[in-house]
């Protein structure tokens, strides 16, 4: 017995699969930040709960740096890697906030200054490249907090582009993707801002 589905049904199935993939990616990013905060608190006694307000956004930058350390074979354990990432995020986005000196002091005590400086440089390069990317797309950011709010895009731009290719109408694609991002419950931007942002991303890569 053969079971056939129409092209429309196939399109719906593909979209559902991509929606799940996109939502799962965002939830993974938030879980990454939550785990980092809880481990650094448990192991080093450092309270970094303020980072959770930006959980998904900062994970957009931390996860590529975490992969960088793993790929380069840094001689650090999982908890030390998380401590380094916490220090990098503070320097890049929250340098004036209370808690930075304690994080840096712990990094010194652990003898991780060399590794920290290497990852910090890579983090600055990634941050600057991302800022240039959003400037090219003419996305206005008046504060560093707005830049942070967009960082969740870094790991998922390929998925956004792939998903947009299944619908020729750019506006419909942008609305569809924005609604999926909002449905994840871990994105800080409004629907209107997301639709505008995603339209610009789609336009750039088409």
In a domain, 58, yes or no: yes
Tell me the chain's radius of gyration from C-alpha atoms. Answer: 19
> What is the average pLDDT across 113-121?
95
Burial category of 6 from C-beta neighbours within 10 Å (exposed 0-12, middle 13-18, buried 19 and up)? exposed
Percent of the chain with pLDDT over 90: 28
In a domain, 2, yes or no: no
In a domain, 6, yes or no: no
Instruction: Name the residue with tokens 């303020």.
Output: 50
In a domain, 1, yes or no: no
> What is the average pLDDT across 185-204?
80
In a domain, 173, yes or no: yes
In a domain, 146, yes or no: yes
pLDDT at 105 over 90: yes
Q: What is the pLDDT of residue 96?
A: 65
Residue 136 C-alpha from the chain's centroid: 19
Around Cβ 42, how many Cβ atoms within 10 Å?
10
In a domain, 3, yes or no: no
pLDDT at 64 over 50: yes
In a domain, 93, yes or no: yes
b (16+ CB within 10 A) / e for 94-111: beeeebbeebbebbeebe
> What is the average pLDDT across 64-68?
92
* Pairwise CA distance, residues 64 & 140, whole Å: 24
Domain extent, residue 110, equals 14-205
pLDDT tens for 8-56 read: 443 443 454 455 677 788 888 889 999 999 999 999 998 888 888 788 8
Query: Average pLDDT of the chain?
Result: 80
């Amino acid at each position: 017995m053969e079971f056939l589905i129409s092209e429309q049904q196939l399109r719906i199935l593909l979209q559902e699969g991509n929606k799940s993939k996109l939502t799962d990616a965002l939830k993974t990013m938030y879980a990454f930040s939550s785990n980092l905060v809880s481990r650094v608190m448990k192991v080093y006694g450092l309270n970094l709960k303020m980072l959770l307000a930006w959980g998904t956004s900062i994970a957009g930058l931390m996860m590529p740096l975490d992969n960088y350390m793993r790929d380069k074979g840094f001689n650090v354990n999982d908890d030390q890697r998380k401590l380094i990432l916490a220090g990098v995020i503070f320097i890049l986005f929250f340098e004036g906030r209370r808690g930075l000196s304690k994080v840096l002091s712990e990094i010194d005590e652990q003898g991780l200054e060399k590794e920290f400086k290497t990852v910090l440089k890579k983090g600055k390069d990634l941050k600057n490249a991302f800022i240039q990317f959003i400037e090219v797309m003419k996305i206005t950011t008046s504060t560093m907090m707005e830049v942070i709010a967009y960082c969740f895009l870094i790991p998922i731009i390929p998925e956004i582009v792939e998903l947009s290719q299944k619908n020729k109408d750019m506006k419909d694609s942008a609305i569809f993707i924005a609604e999926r991002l909002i449905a994840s419950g871990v994105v800080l931007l409004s629907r209107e801002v997301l639709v505008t942002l995603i339209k610009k991303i789609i336009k750039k890569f088409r």
